[in-house]
Amino acid sequence: MSSLEPIMERNFLEYASYVIVDRAIPELNDGCKPVQRRILHTLHKMDDGKFHKVANVIGETMKLHPHGDLSIGDALVVLANKEYFIEKQGNFGNIVTGHRSAAARYIECRLTPLAKETLFNKELTEYQESYDGRNKEPVMLPVKLPVLLMLGVEGIAVGMATKILPHNFIELLEAQVKILKYEPIEIYPDFITGGSVDISEYDEGRGRVRVRAKIESDGDKQILIKEIPYSTTTESLIASIESAAQKKKIKIAGISDYTAENVEIEIILPRGVHAEEVVPQLYAYTQCEVSLSSNITTIKDGHPINITVNETLRHLTDRLREQIGKELELELRKLHDKQHWLTLEQIFIEKRVYKKIEDATTETQVTREVYDGMQPFAKRFVRPMTDDDIERLLEIRIRRISKYDQNKNRRQIKEVEDNVTIVTDKLSTLTQTTIGFLKDLIKKYKDDYPRKSRIELFENIEKKDVARQNIRVGYDANSGFFGSEIKDSDYIITMSEYDRVLFISKDGSYRIIAPEQKVLIPGKVIYWEPFDQQNGIKFTVVYRDNDKIAYAKKVHIHKFIKDREYELIKDKAGKIDLLIPGDSTSKIKGFFVPAKRQRVKDVDFDLSELEFTGPASKGRRVSPKAISRIQKLKDENDVSVEDENENTAINSEVSVDKSESTDTPENKKPDNTPENGSGQRTLF
């Protein structure tokens, strides 16, 4: 096994490097994955102005691509649907509906004028051998566009992945102009499917964007979806809406898809449901809003790097300037070559140098005669004359000499000289030349590539804020069960799946739970109410421990773990005597346990003097002596728990106990008797 380890390690590293560099991750400079580069190069070689069968393009590309026709066909369709470089004819599928393209033998394509103008230059392209050594393929296309940011791309390699969101073509060019002018830039994604995009967390491509569908209300009972978020289809969007409806997160009467050339999804709402409440639910629970992360990993100089959008565009702008400089230098060399030849031809014919070769008998003499005849005019040469120049002069036919037009030749030389001056000036002001190139592209293609996604700042929609209040729950004091299946309850509340309920038992234990179908609540419950998760709930608690020593405290319950049991009383043998929601200002009287020769029989305590503490704190001692009973001296919104009474009190919204003492028999009420006119129940 040990002998295989270095082999496996070496082979794995080679495989990982191959997948990263040669398959999944795009090149920074030309923005293409290898398969895309091979497709574009093949289309350029095949270009004759006519459409080509995609099947033929795939076949030609297979000469360069070692991974089969399926990967080539899929990549070509995706590239064509970007609508920048490949012109389509036939059914290339639909990125909105998710329908696949027709078979490759039925569809055709060719390069767009934009691709021909900006992607290719054979003389400036470096080539390498194909995988089988029979053909040549470009190492990199000499592109003059920020292709990487235009197209957007996803790729998963070994140990890394990339996700680059597409950006608007014209906005990228305008940003490049700003870069060349040393002005600040801001670039944000633009999606072919439209919709609205929140770029507040984009962070130059290191964060994420949120994309929303375009939703319109046609009256109060009909909702129309006109645009969908990028990365979704009408089918997946409708499926997410139907799923949310089945889970009762939204309520709809029907949904219809009328999408043809443009997206049109119609949602009909049932009676009692309004569009203004359903639209936020669509954003919260369905694919009407999606979050798209961005992670720009690309290949530079053969190695993967992480880079931001702004850094990418600055690098590509520098490369564009360099590329235009190389093209101008190439053009200048060609002009100098043409000027040189026209000058040699002019001297050779006008000065009748060709006459000197009539008496020469050998090839060497002919060459020497031409060289000697041209030498007196060497000052007019653009560059020194070579043997190749002499060979070319000797190839001029008599017919060409006899019909030689001196004026035409001079006009040609003058035209070339003027062009040399123009190109030289462009090279000397290369930055302005690059800006001019970009502005020409903007002017030419601005109307063809408008922004499709609207940039907006979304208001955060919390699912719990728009959740439907569709769960009816109750508590059965006799059985101790709580949930949506409990029907034998005097107090039913309606809540959502995100709401929580606070239960406090007589022994001081409390728990905060989600709405369940049926769950057993331990202990004798004295209070249960929906829990305010944002602000919590405040209570004033008076209780006695196992030794009947009374304590009072004010607590604020706001932090919790769902379904976990907490304690208001440390002593399990103790019990709560008084539970008052809120910040109580009541006064209480505690009656001491009777004893011999007892002179002081009670003690007063002002609850307003208490400060709020944590729920687990012991509280402030009312008296050092044991207390047999506690009496409230001031009416307050509270729940009194009698020492002798074994029943429990259940609070609905605000339970009110009008009793003056916790154990006065005449103040007791029969079970299931509602408070006067309040509709609330307190059980004793």
* Separation of CA 216 from chain center: 23
Residue 519, H or E segment: strand 519-520
CA gap 86, 151 in Å, rounded: 12
Question: Cβ atoms within 10 A of the Cβ of 272, count?
Answer: 6
112: closest CA among 451, 449, 452? 449
Residue for token digits 């194909």?
A: 130
Cβ–Cβ contacts within 10 Å for residue 407, how many?
7
Cβ(151)–Cβ(82) under 8 Å? yes
- Cβ atoms < 10 Å from Cβ of 183: 9
Residue closest to 552 by CA, chosen among 509, 604, 502, 491: 604
Q: Is the Cβ–Cβ distance between 100 and 81 less than 8 Å?
A: no
Phi and psi at residue 418, in whole multiples of 5°?
-65, -40
Within 8 A by CB and 6+ apart from 212, the residues are 195, 196, 197, 198, 229, 283, 288, 289, 456, 458
Please list, in sequence order, all residues whose beta carbon lies within 8 angstroms of the beta carbon of residue 656, skipping any fewer than 6 positions away.
637, 638, 675, 678, 680, 682
C-alpha 264/C-alpha 150 separation (Å) is 27
The one catalytic residue in 18, 106, 127, 131 is 106
E-assigned strand segments in 339-484: 454-455, 471-476, 481-483
**Is 444 in contact with 352 (CB distance < 8 Å)?**
no
Q: Angle, nearest 10°, between helix axes 309-350 and 169-180?
A: 80
Which amino acid does the sequence have at 615? P
**Whether 230 is catalytic:** no
d(CA 581, CA 24): 62
Q: 570 Cβ partners below 8 Å, 6+ apart?
A: 616, 618
CA distance 148 to 501: 52
State the Cα–Cα distance between residues 530 and 491, nearest whole angstrom.
12
d(CA 207, CA 204): 7
* Cβ burial, residue 385 (10 Å; 0-12/13-18/19+): buried
Residue spans of alpha helices (H) in 47-193: 54-61, 69-81, 113-118, 147-151, 169-180
Q: What is the 3-state secondary structure (H, E, C) of 128-140?
A: EECCCCCCEEECC
Q: What is the DSSP string of 4-33?
A: HHHHHHHHHHHHHHHHIIIIIS-BTTT---
CA distances from 321 to 140, 180, 429, 669 (A): 17, 9, 11, 91
Length of the chain (residues): 684
> For residues 197 and 208, what is the distance between their CA atoms, to the nearest angstrom?
10
Residue 562 · residue 500 · CB < 8 Å: yes
Catalytic residues, by residue number, are 106
